[in-house]
Amino acid sequence: MRIDRNIRVLGIDDSPKGSGGKVLVAGVVCRGGIIEGVLSTHTSFDGDDGTRKTIAMLERSRFAEQVKAVMLNSVMLGGLNVVDIGKVSERLGVPVIAATRRLPRMEKVKKAISHVKNGRSKLRRLAAAGESAAFDVNGTTRFAQFAGASKEEVQGIFDAVGLEPVRLAHIIASGIVTGESKGRL
């Protein structure tokens, strides 16, 4: 499906763990390869506020009516803080895509989640996100869970913007917290 290359996408990624159990979450609004704005919030490391904080970050911004898709770097922010991508999509009225470089090792993830507070509710949110599907993103296979769009529409969004909004959010979040950006998307 062809998506306009000027679609406004909010890319979201978290920083390494900060002090006091809080994690910086950066959001970058991109349109046509241009950064139009930067948003931020904090979530609790391994907490349960990722869904609420993701929604609030966009709703309180001037970009709320303009963003046509949200793209996260996985369904988890701040360690094992699982975002309910279906709820985010429904509340914001836009597709939500949780992209990863590799296919998640779900058994390992489920085991880790089972050892943290509210593990059962996190596992339900994880299951609700669905299985990861493979996508071609600029000639490279990436994986994503998604809500509020068909697989064809998600591929169209990747064709239009790639992973640039999430990559920029990653650079900003890690650079602010560690003093220098590092790591790959």
pLDDT digits (tens, 9 = 90+) for 29-81: 999 889 999 999 999 999 999 999 999 999 999 999 999 999 999 999 988 99
Query: Whole-model pTM?
Result: 0.93
Per-residue pLDDT, 1: 65
Side-chain half-sphere CA neighbours of 87 within 13 A: 16
How far lies 85's CA from each of 18, 32, 74, 96, 120, in Å?
24, 24, 10, 6, 17
Q: Hey, what CATH topology would domain 8-178 get?
A: archaeoglobus fulgidus dsm 4304 fold (3.30.2170)
Position 182 pLDDT exceeds 80: no
